[in-house]
Amino acid sequence: MEHYNMNLTLKVWRQKNKNDQGRFETLQAKDISSEMSFLEMFDVVNEQLINDGKDPVAFDHDCREGICGSCSMHINGRAHGPWDGTTTCQLHMRAFNDGDTITVEPWRAGAFPVIKDLTVDRTAFDRIIEAGGYISVNTGNAQDANCLPVDKNDADLSFAAASCIGCGACVAACKNSSAMLFVSAKVSQLALLPQGHPEKQSRALNMVAQMDKEGFGSCTNTGACEAECPKEISLTNIARLNREFIGAGFSSEK
Amino acid sequence: MLNAKIPAGPLNSKWEDYKGHCKLVNPANKRNLEVIIIGTGLAGASAAASLGELGYKVKAFCFQDSPRRAHSIAAQGGINAAKNYQNDGDSVFRLFYDTVKGGDYRAREANVHRLAEVSGNIIDQCVAQGVPFAREYGGLLSNRSFGGTQVQRTFYAAGQTGQQLLLGAYSALERQVALGNVKMYSRHEMLDIVKIDGKARGIIARDLVTGELERHFGHAVLICSGGYGNVFYLSTNAMGSNATAAWKATKNGAYFANPCFTQIHPTCIPVSGDHQSKLTLMSESLRNDGRIWVPKKQNDTRKASDIPEEERDYYLERRYPAFGNLVPRDVASRAAKERCDAGFGVGTSRQAVYLDFAAAIERYGSIEVGKRQLTNVSKEDIIKLGKEVVAEKYGNLFDMYAKITGENPYELPMRIYPAVHYTMGGLWVDYELNTTVPGLYSLGEANFSDHGANRLGASALMQGLADGYFVLPYTIGNYLADEIRTKAISTDHPAFVEAEKSVQDIINKFMTTKGTRSVDYFHKKLGKIMWDKCGMARNEKGLKEAIEEIKALRVEFWKEVRVPGEAKEFNPELEKAGRVADFLELGELMCMDALNRRESCGGHFREESQTEDGEAKRDDDNFSYVAAWEYKGYGQYELHKEPLVFEECKPTQRSYK
Ligand SMILES: Cc1cc2nc3c(=O)[nH]c(=O)nc-3n(C[C@H](O)[C@H](O)[C@H](O)COP(=O)(O)OP(=O)(O)OC[C@H]3O[C@@H](n4cnc5c(N)ncnc54)[C@H](O)[C@@H]3O)c2cc1C
């Protein structure tokens, strides 16, 4: 792999706190190596800002290996930037060229208020899980794990749905700020497993109700969420959620 | 004298006996007992959920925006359990024995045995929660091998085992939040312990969004804050992983055990330049199928594909025929360093070795051909089928490698090098997971308990969940049963006021120093000292130098650190400053501990103590003890020893040949 260095212009969203109006600020990123990750590029920019006596750009990040779901930058109009199936922290600078201008914004969604700069509040997701994203089993209740064989295909589909990292890119990518992909991934993971069956309908109802309460928009099937999801969670999960939800609507009338 | 409170009786009935006799708290009293939990990784989340289910009033804290993002999420390869589903001779005893031996005979037998006993329950619990472990076509659970063992006892969910286990524990935790049994404080950082009459009674925490300091009372406090590998700056830990919670506990009287026992993991993506902010692990599970090699010729600059088979040195298979590529981590790491130091390294930096899947791809491809009863299959088709199998097993790891390096690991061997990964040292705890401060407990990677001088792969997830689901919920009752008469103490108590003031003083100092250098500048400098002098190989001279250098760096830090912004706002630089300040103290203690331990064991390799063929040489006569350090004032510590007694696993020179 050939490496190169580049100079870039960044247009970064700066917002002091949730009450501040916010605005774009233009920053220069100098001598950026193509081997850096996007966040390492921000480390360089922040180091410079600190040395210049200015306030560094605040952004969420932790594992920097694409799994914790903290990082959340909207880059040139795309959640997590130009590479498919990739979080911001795994995006590398070889995706860019010398002289590029890059626009970086936080997730934009009413249910994700900005805390500072590129950092948003995603606790709404925790509250949706609280509403039913679990199997009700206390510690100590379990039987031997192999007493419950699971069809391999179902297990694989369940795993694929469970790989959601809860980053919120699906919401940021959706013109309605819908959280359907997130909710459906959890509902599917559990509905596909025999352990999850007893609660599958109440789970769907309660999670969707909480989603609405948090102010996420409705799903109009544009598929932008799937396209931007760094874990490539499939839209078929939304179809499955709809089935569970409608089924639950009928049976809860009995 | 340190009392580990190990129950009497034969090893395999200690835990049963303990559970049968420990004190219980009745349900009505549980509702009045408050427990504070620092951390929501596997250890903290499982403890919070289980204690909430039991009826205790729990407050859980994490510094990330959600409990689901604790660094346990990043664990890749798997979790061990003595289920013997493969019928390959596994048992509780073998898991226990492998762990004590793997830890180079520096762990406490009774704790390790209990860990092995409860390991099976963990898998049952996780499956019941809906954790989607890998399965075979028959629908039953699948296993693979990890280093340091000869059985297949590792359960996994592709390369995302930690994520799936943590999401299981997190959902159990959120269920308790909904039921009102657990109150969750995300984006909060614990900055001090409050002690009243010698017992832990609460904490001071900073709300990271507003910057306000808060006081929280608890009848007991659990430190589940993870490991301190980030002392080295570069490690496989998350950017935020830190030692602050454990270090504040230390400053409040909890002893810190075996601080120098750090694990350097053999298979990580090598450093690419000064900009590097963290190192990425390539899971040990890859050593199931990947073969590690370097060229036989020094300074060989040919491409890997141009080096013929007979000119490759599969040095692990050569040196350790019995375990081959699956030797424990400390052994594999040192062997890689040895080859690179001797001039056989590969890549531009020459600080890397190859991890090669070509043979595995071909082997799996042929197996598929057989399974599917295909005939007339070309070599390319076999390779294609083999790649599919490898992708199913390790796909996300291969993708990660490709994104970071820009190279395709299905075509070219991976380049890997050892990196700091895990800390076996941590807060000293007794059999009940209680530190030396009554009411202050420690679980998961934050304690020192089960892995001795080297942790075996897939055992940290097991330990975190064992502690949180199946051990602490019993042992804490034994303490809280005597606390039922203690009413909640007002946070106006002078001890809270004083603790808050000392936290405030430190914050004020950071905000008013207005020095010339960023926090990262100091962190990187500390990391370099630690890696060079307290890393994969250590010696007396280097350690003595490191101690002086760290002392000097600490002085410079407090004079020159620059923290921008304000205290009463969301301020990530201020958070980092506090963490690095603590690393600057802990780093020195690690070097002191390494200096004190004039033997090699597990991940601690003292150059002065090695066998003729370069293996670690223990000194059981003089060092068969846990080194527990008591804080005695800034930069001063007193050593206490907990002698290790081995009844079942008689220490021998560890051999994987
Ligand atoms: C890349 C990687 C891969 C790994 N793979 C495996 C594997 O395959 N198998 C295996 O067994 N082990 C593996 N490990 C090791 C294992 O993941 C960890 O040891 C384990 O998950 C630690 O869990 P924990 O609950 O102790 O801590 P963590 O998961 O690190 O959680 C720490 C918690 O403490 C909180 N916290 C810390 N300080 C404070 C504070 N001051 N105030 C408030 N909250 C605080 C954090 O917010 C977080 O919630 C891996 C580790 C890494 C880094």
Q: What is the pLDDT of residue A252?
A: 56
Q: What confidence tier does A1 reach under pLDDT thresholds 50, 70, 90?
A: low
Q: B75 CB under 6 A from ligand 1?
A: yes
Q: How is residue B408 written in tokens?
A: 């395709």
Cα B548 to Cα B107, B544, B559: the distances in Å are: 30, 7, 17
Q: Look up residue B110 and give its two tokens.
A: 């009774």
- How far is ligand 1, taken at its centre, from the CA of residue B385, in Å? 36
Rounded to 10°, the helix A123-130/A200-213 angle is 150
Q: Which residues of chain B have pLDDT under 50?
A: none
Whether residue B177 and residue A1 make contact (CB cut-off 8 A), yes or no, is no
CA angle (B461, B463, B466) in 5-degree steps = 105
pTM of the model as a whole:
0.97
Indicate yes or no: CB of B404 within 8 angstroms of CB of A37. Answer: yes
Is B40 close to ligand 1, i.e. is its CB under 6 Å away? yes
Residues 191-220 of A with CB under 8 A from B: 193, 195-196
pLDDT at B655: 83
Q: Give the closest residue to A238 by CA, choosing from A215, A221, A214, A216.
A: A221
pLDDT computed for residue A165 by the predictor: 98
Q: How far is residue B270's CA from residue B351's CA, in Å, rounded to a whole number?
A: 7
The tokens describing B334, both together, are 């040192």
Does the interface predicted TM-score (ipTM) exceed 0.95?
yes
> Which residue is closest to B173 within chain A, CA to CA?
A130
B476 lies in some domain: no
> pLDDT > 70: what percent of chain B?
100
Residue B288 is assigned to a structural domain of this protein: yes
Residue B536 lies in a domain: no
Question: What is the count of structural domains for chain B?
Answer: 1
In a domain, B374, yes or no: yes
Contact between B495 and B503 under an 8 Å Cβ cutoff? The reply is: no
Name the residue among B174, B562, B570 with its Cβ closest to that of A115.
B570
Cβ-based burial of A123 (10 A; exposed 0-12, middle 13-18, buried ≥19): middle
CATH code for the domain in which residue B301 is found: 3.90.700.10
Max distance between CA atoms of chain B, in angstroms, equals 83
Nearest protein CA to atom 20 of ligand 1, as residue: B72
- With a cut of 50, say whether residue A253 has pLDDT above it: no
Distance A87 CA to ligand 1 centre (A): 20
Coil, helix or strand at residue B421: strand
Which residues 107-146 of A have a C-beta within 8 angstroms of B? Answer: 115-116, 119, 121-123, 125-126, 129-131, 133-146
Rg of chain B over Cα atoms, rounded to whole angstroms, equals 24
Residue span of the structural domain in which B280 resides: 265-420
Query: What single string gives the DSSP state of each residue in A175-187?
Result: TT-B-HHHHHHHH
Nearest residue to B268 via CA among B260, B256, B276: B276
Provide the H-helix boundaries in B419-471: 460-465
What is the tens place of the pLDDT at every residue in A218-241? 999 999 999 999 999 999 999 999
What positions of B carry a catalytic annotation? 329
Q: Sheet containing B426-427: which strands, arranged edge to edge?
A: B426-427, B256-257, B625-631, B637-643
B415 within 8 A of B352, measured Cβ to Cβ: yes
Torsion sign over Cα A152, B391, B90, B330: negative
How much is the average pLDDT of A42-56?
97
Structural contact between residues B447 and B247, judged by C-beta atoms closer than 8 angstroms: no
In a domain, B502, yes or no: no
Percentage helix, strand, coil, to 5, in chain B?
Answer: 45, 15, 40
Cα angle B149-B82-B153, degrees, rounded to a multiple of 5: 45
Q: In terms of DSSP bridges, do strands B220-223 and B440-442 run parallel, antiparallel, or are they unpaired?
A: parallel
Residue A123's identity, in one-letter code, is T
- Would you state the pLDDT for residue A254? 43
pLDDT > 50? residue A147: yes
| Residue B13 lies inside a defined structural domain of this protein | no
Map out the domains of chain A with their CATH numbers. Answer: 5-116 (3.10.20.30), 123-251 (1.10.1060.10)
Question: Is B382 inside a domain boundary?
Answer: yes
B392 lies in some domain: yes
Q: Is the separation of the CB atoms in A178 and A217 below 8 Å? A: yes
Summary mean pLDDT of chain A: 96
Please compute the mean of the pLDDT values over residues A108-134 and round it to a whole number: 98
